[in-house]
């Protein structure tokens, strides 16, 4: 009786790794290109024996990784520089170093996900549960302790008799004809399938609703959801104002901390003096903190040229006679207490940093309002004269 099934290929089974290596070399030398080798474990040297080319999967990883990085940078640029422009701590709108971690994360994420999807769907062509090799004696053997090679019928040089004779010359354990399985089609609109689908959906939905909305709130399985305690941001009947969160009692002082005693005063300069000398280290600290917290409004040189134009009123220049006549204590007090629309920066800047900012402001004022004595002193230090 003739077999009317469509032939997928002819397979041969060998007993040792050396035999399958030799068989792969012979197949390549004979000019076959549509063939594959199956073994229960990786065989060293098989790639070169089969003359396999490098996988194209790496290009998928490269392209999708670069795409992810580019999309991340483009999105952050559009968000920060175009759609939602906010100056944070004096930084530019598009602060590239701060965006590197997110760019790296998205690059790795998209590259990895695309690699896995491409490997499964494109290279392995899964899910494919109807492959001709499935459930064959050949596959059972090479999945255990044997080694097999199969030449597919769609190879340009394939001839059934020639391939059988070719394998016979290699002295395999046995040769097996592999056929395509019969196709089985099932309609999704069969009544029994639709009934099963509907019943499953009802059972799963009902069980989920009961578990999440009833079972978890039945004693003793309520997981201590109802407790006699005050939760953050929750109302409370215990206090007259109905708030569960309580503010500290007025005048409360944290352990080891002395609060600023002149809060709310307008001119406590009679008791505040700068405890730090304007050393190079102190001026560098003051410059760093001034550029971060003060420059968005006051400008990098304290000219009052705000980078937040249109968002807040520009502050006055710190080079006016009034600002220059401020004592160090007055400037420190303004930073600590705030003045007019300027808020207090006590929570963002430490006390030592505030005094460092005062010293840096003095350096800016002196640099822009240098006196004749200052110029003479600079000329002496640089070795130049006033004419130059």
Whether residue 24 contacts residue 46, with contact meaning beta carbons closer than 8 Å, is answered with: yes
88 and 169 both lie in a single domain = yes
- The enclosing domain of 357 has a CATH number of 1.10.760.10
DSSP-derived letter for residue 223 is T
**Tens-binned pLDDT, residue by residue, of the chain (388 aa):** 445 688 999 999 999 999 999 999 999 999 999 999 999 999 999 999 999 988 889 999 999 999 999 999 999 999 888 887 776 666 778 888 888 999 999 999 999 999 999 998 888 877 777 889 988 999 999 999 999 999 999 999 999 999 999 999 999 999 999 999 887 777 778 888 889 999 999 999 999 999 888 887 777 766 666 677 777 788 888 888 888 888 878 778 878 777 787 887 777 666 778 888 889 999 999 999 999 888 888 888 888 888 776 666 778 888 888 888 888 888 899 998 888 888 889 888 988 999 999 999 999 988 888 777 766 666 666 565 544 4
Q: Is the same domain home to 371 and 222?
A: no
**One domain, residues 88 and 46:** yes
The per-residue DSSP string of 291-303 comes to: IIIIHHHH-TTSS
| Same domain membership, residue 107 and residue 40 | yes
Indicate whether 324 and 229 sit together in one domain: no
Number of domains in the chain: 3
Neighbour-count burial of 344, counting CB atoms closer than 10 A to its CB (0-12 exposed, 13-18 middle, 19+ buried): middle
- Report how far residue 172's alpha carbon sits from residue 151's, in angstroms, rounded to the nearest whole number: 14
Of 202, 228, 247, the position where a domain reaches its end is 247
Asked if residue 233 is part of any domain, the answer here is yes
**Which of residues 160, 183, 206 is at a domain's end?**
183
Which residue range forms the structural domain that includes residue 48? 1-183
């Amino acid at each position: 009786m003739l077999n009317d099934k469509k032939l997928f290929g002819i397979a041969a089974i060998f007993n040792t790794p050396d035999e399958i290596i030799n068989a792969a070399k012979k197949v390549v030398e004979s000019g076959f290109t549509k063939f594959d080798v199956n073994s229960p474990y990786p065989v060293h040297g098989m790639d070169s024996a089969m003359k396999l080319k490098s996988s194209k999967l790496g290009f998928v990883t490269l392209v999708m990784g670069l795409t992810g990085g580019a999309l991340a940078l483009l999105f952050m640029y559009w968000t920060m520089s175009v759609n939602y422009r906010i100056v944070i701590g004096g930084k530019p709108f598009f602060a590239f170093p701060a965006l590197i971690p997110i760019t790296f994360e998205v690059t790795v994420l998209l590259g990895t996900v695309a690699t896995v999807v491409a490997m499964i769907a494109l290279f392995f062509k899964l899910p494919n549960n109807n492959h001709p090799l499935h459930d064959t004696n050949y596959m059972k053997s090479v999945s255990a302790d044997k080694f097999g090679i199969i030449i597919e019928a769609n190879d340009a040089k394939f001839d059934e008799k020639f391939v059988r004779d070719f394998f016979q010359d290699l002295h395999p354990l046995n040769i097996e004809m592999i056929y395509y399985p019969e196709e089985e089609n099932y309609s999704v609109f069969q009544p029994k399938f639709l009934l099963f689908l509907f019943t499953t959906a009802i059972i799963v939905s009902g069980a989920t609703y009961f578990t999440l909305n009833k079972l978890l709130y039945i004693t003793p399985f309520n997981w201590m959801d109802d407790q006699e305690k005050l939760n953050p941001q929750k109302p409370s009947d215990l206090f007259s104002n109905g708030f569960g969160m309580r503010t500290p009692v007025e005048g409360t002082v944290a352990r080891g901390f002395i609060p600023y005693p002149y809060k709310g005063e307008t001119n406590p300069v009679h008791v505040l003096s700068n405890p730090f000398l304007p050393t190079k280290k102190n001026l560098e600290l003051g410059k760093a903190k001034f550029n971060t917290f003060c420059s968005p409004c006051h400008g990098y040189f304290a000219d009052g040229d705000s980078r937040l134009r249109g968002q807040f009123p520009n502050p006055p220049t710190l080079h006016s006679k009034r600002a220059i006549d401020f004592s160090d204590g007055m400037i420190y007090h303004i930073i600590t207490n705030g003045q007019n629309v300027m808020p207090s920066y006590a929570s963002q800047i430490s006390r030592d940093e505030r005094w460092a900012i005062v010293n840096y402001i003095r350096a800016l004022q002196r640099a822009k309002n240098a006196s004749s004595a200052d110029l003479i002193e600079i000329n002496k230090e640089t070795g130049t004269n006033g004419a130059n």
